[in-house]
Chain A
């Protein structure tokens, strides 16, 4: 059972995206598509023929598989409803970030592979944003990792139950910004637009169609839910089961669903109330988050370990 908890992320991630879209639409006074719309989109895309550019090489064809693989491999490491995750020994938080980086690396290459300016633009921006996110994300995790004495997510999730220190709140703030940027949400990127001048993620996958596009989109949904899961695992693990007995797991599943809904609502709220930032204003946002992460670490050191 516990081997398969990553399937939860795999299967429910389109639903989560549907919920965010629905909530966003409601907040903006629209009715919006149903929450199962992402599933219909994926099924439709898997059934379609594909158009592949003549310029594209095997990198273009391999990238969707590698991107999909990277997000699934990363999900295997994460404890979803129970911290007894056998794959948790396979890697830790650092491994997870690097596995996701592998997917990003190939997605950016695929953007360059078709020889269009849109793809190049998307790749260039994606890698630039990644440069700003990664140190900040690492630093905010370091605080939690040092407090737990391990970088393994299961161990971090087991050590504490609730946010209890100012340093964790600062780290959480930084981490939320990292999640927004990683999932391509406002204020960093706008997931709903294909406007050439602003797109980042959509720019890279512009040339994809049919089942490759389906893989890319699905991978994106998975990555989003995965990052939400990591956030709750590290910063509010309360409710996650520490064993594999049925009762605990059932309760943990309920808690997990509530937490995911909360994250979805938070995302929808942020997206509805914020405007997208100009690309070159991002360094101040992400740099600010880096300072928060740094403060969190210094606070932790100054206050001593509890």
Chain B
């Protein structure tokens, strides 16, 4: 039995789930059970593919030029495993989450097609199939973004649609260039032919793939769709979009720039490292200022994509210098973080969905104290937060450690630029890590700890068992991928071997050793943390039983503290806003109405916000320019039939004069 049977079964499950959701049946939330089975089956297929050679599936000829062709290799297999893992957990979550949706049939339909389209993207074998799958994925996700019909989501959907299609345009250009230069639609023959492409053609393809796939992945400055689109969609969808859909951008980038194009000049890798460093730092800086819990998570996706790019960029840089072993280590770091980000970001979005279900708000300033009313959601959200900050013993730490190692090994590259840029990338990663920790202290501390800040937060109830188990699955994987890196790396290394030609000198006899120099043993760290914790507990218990008195928090002798006297999310991030004001460009407005100036104040209104740099200074002027140009161009289109006939006449005459 090969992977084919599991693959077909899985797709069949998803498609039957999609068709069932269009039928008239009661309790449509249980359709998601079918999606679970589909994800499970495809996950097995992915595990098969990881270690197998290339396998083709299901070629369908539409016309001599256009045929659907799918094939799976180890890289596709790895991404299939990632997609399946998250889809499985999200489907479990959705059986509870979708219950209260009005048109859950439509949701379930889009959901299943969306997942299938992501599988199709990573399995595509030729240009035509890839573009069709890519567009299907984009269009379906557009419908999911605008699922809740309101002004906000339709605006987010519009920005998403426009940005995605700009990205797709670059991808089309890329494929057209490849097709005209190699004369082939099949990825395998393009790969064979592309080794002889001239340098400038390769560079054009590389730049197009950075912009095209970078837009989908959400790197800065092409990220502006992301903070709008992810929060607008229902939470299970945000989880999939942020966890895996943006990863198809990473997949496409690796496939084109590393697999198909092969070697490139060193500056490609350096450019990718710089892009990654900028995305990670700027992404997390904006996340810190965000008090909408889903927007905050969306900005963190930009940050994590940046970290993944740091790994991939180092891999490209090493490979152009012929350092294949180091290149493999860096690529392992990038792909490991891809998996990790899918797990913990999926978990955090599910957590956000669970919170919103209970409190009906996305604003963290209206939450607080939720850990008491929602203990399980709280615990799993905490696990996700610790993981995303890259703290041991969870999974984020291992991949960030590998990324640090990759960047430090950059010192072995011959050129001075790489020697300087790589450690600076490491410093950017350290800054990102510290900022992320601050951000999640805020996100978890303000929403789950302290006193409830609003009525809704006070009345919050824990979510249903299925939603909790969806989160629990991912939380367990956060721990597993954090303490057993060798399993994950063995899943990644076949594709890394295909791309870089090396396994990467990472040995694991109980601990990881990168390039025989630095070592890390996540298992030992986990065990020692556990044992020390138990020992500390025993030590304290041995000090004898002491009384514990419950009392109010210290209130400086005032009457009692109210929830409004707590630190808010805005206050928490104020020092950071002041320190990084060159980036945030904060605006503040203070309006005071007096009864009698200057002493007796009637009302006081304070508002502060930051300027979103890219939106205000890049995209807004661009939009205004396009609008103006369109207004000029409109003069051609007067609506008069005679004029249009005149155009035809002129065109015809020009053709007759110049065309032969």
Residues of chain A at the chain B interface (Cβ within 8 Å): 46-59, 65-66, 68-70, 72-73, 76, 87, 89-92, 94-95, 97-99, 101-102, 104-105, 108-109, 111-121, 123-125, 127-128, 130-139, 142, 145-146, 149-152, 155, 206-207, 210-211, 215, 279-280, 283, 290, 294, 297-298, 301
Contact = CB atoms under 8 A, between A and B. Distances in A.
Given A73-B532, A91-B392, A133-B434, 13 more contacts: A69-B533, A87-B524, A91-B519, A91-B521, A116-B561, A121-B567, A124-B571, A127-B434, A131-B435, A131-B579, A139-B423, A145-B408, A294-B424
B30 interface: no
Given A69-B532, A90-B524, A124-B567, A279 B575 contact: yes
B311 to A, nearest CB: 15
A66 B533 contact: yes
B610 interface: no
18 contacts: A47-B546, A51-B550, A59-B382, A70-B529, A76-B528, A92-B520, A95-B525, A113-B445, A116-B554, A116-B566, A125-B575, A134-B434, A142-B423, A142-B427, A149-B517, A151-B404, A155-B517, A301-B420
B573 interface: yes
Given A98-B433, A128-B575, A65 B533 contact: yes
A53 B554 CA distance: 8
Contact of A128 (B408, B429, B451, B579): B579
Contacts of B525: 73, 90-91, 95, 99
Given A94-B404, A112-B441, A113-B450, A51 B551 contact: yes
B554 A124 contact: no
B423 A124 contact: no
A65 B465 CA distance: 30
Most buried by A among B419, B427, B448: B427
Given A101-B391, A152-B518, A207-B553, A59 B371 contact: yes
B511 A89 contact: yes
Contact of B519 (A102, A117, A152, A211): A152
Interface in B359-396: 368-369, 371-372, 382, 386, 389-392
A280 B578 contact: yes
B520 A50 contact: no
A95 B398 CA distance: 9
A146 B420 CA distance: 12
Contacts of A206: 554
Contacts of A128: 438, 575-576, 579
B570 to A, nearest CB: 11
B553 A98 contact: no
A211 B540 contact: yes
Contacts of B429: 138
A301 B524 contact: no
Nearest to A212: B540
Contact of B438 (A56, A76, A89, A127): A127
Most buried by A among B400, B518, B553: B553
A298 B565 CA distance: 48
Interface string B516-558: 0111110011001100110011001001101111111111000
B430 A137 contact: yes
Given A69-B533, A130-B434, A105 B441 contact: yes
Nearest to B285: A131
B533 A131 contact: no
Contacts of B524: 87, 89-91
Given A116-B554, A120-B567, A47 B434 contact: no
A189 to B, nearest CB: 14
A71 to B, nearest CB: 9
Contact of B433 (A90, A101, A124, A152): A101
Nearest to A280: B578
A280 B431 contact: no
Contacts of B128: none
B572 interface: yes
Nearest to B521: A90
B408 A87 contact: no
Contact of A151 (B427, B449, B518): B518
B428 interface: yes
Contacts of B496: none
A112 B382 CA distance: 14
B563 interface: yes
A96 to B, nearest CB: 10
A72 to B, nearest CB: 5
A65 B427 contact: no
Given A131-B576, A151-B518, A57 B390 contact: no
B386 A115 contact: no
A51 B550 CA distance: 6
Nearest to A155: B517
Which 5 residue pairs are nearest across A and B when measured between Cβ atoms? A120-B567, A112-B445, A127-B438, A115-B450, A138-B430
Contacts of A58: 371
A135 B549 contact: no
B26 to A, nearest CB: 40
Interface in B558-593: 561, 563, 565-567, 571-576, 578-579
B416 interface: yes
Given A116-B566, A117-B566, A135-B434, A98 B449 contact: no
Given A55-B451, A108-B445, A139-B426, A280 B563 contact: no
Contacts of B574: 124
A131 B578 CA distance: 13
A110 B426 CA distance: 29
Given A57-B371, A115-B450, A117-B567, A123 B532 contact: no
Contacts of B98: none
B548 A50 contact: yes
Contacts of A112: 441, 445-446, 449-450, 567
B268 interface: no
Contacts of B430: 97, 134-135, 137-139
Given A66-B533, A128-B438, A91 B572 contact: no
B529 A69 contact: yes
B444 interface: yes
A177 to B, nearest CB: 15
Contact of A102 (B391, B451, B518): B391
B391 A115 contact: no
Interface in B492-531: 511, 517-521, 524-525, 528-529
A131 B449 contact: no
B411 interface: yes
B548 A49 contact: yes
Contact of B552 (A48, A54, A73, A113): A54
Given A134-B430, A210-B546, A108 B441 contact: yes
Contact of B391 (A98, A118, A127): A98
B401 interface: yes
Nearest to A105: B437
B397 interface: yes
Contacts of B153: none
A243 B289 CA distance: 51
Contact of A215 (B518, B540, B561): B540
Given A128-B576, A280-B578, A142 B434 contact: no
A151 B528 contact: no
A281 B528 CA distance: 39
A102 B400 CA distance: 14
Given A90-B524, A102-B386, A69 B449 contact: no
A134 B544 CA distance: 39
Contacts of B555: 116
Most buried by A among B440, B532, B555: B532
A292 to B, nearest CB: 13
A95 B392 contact: yes
A95 B536 CA distance: 21
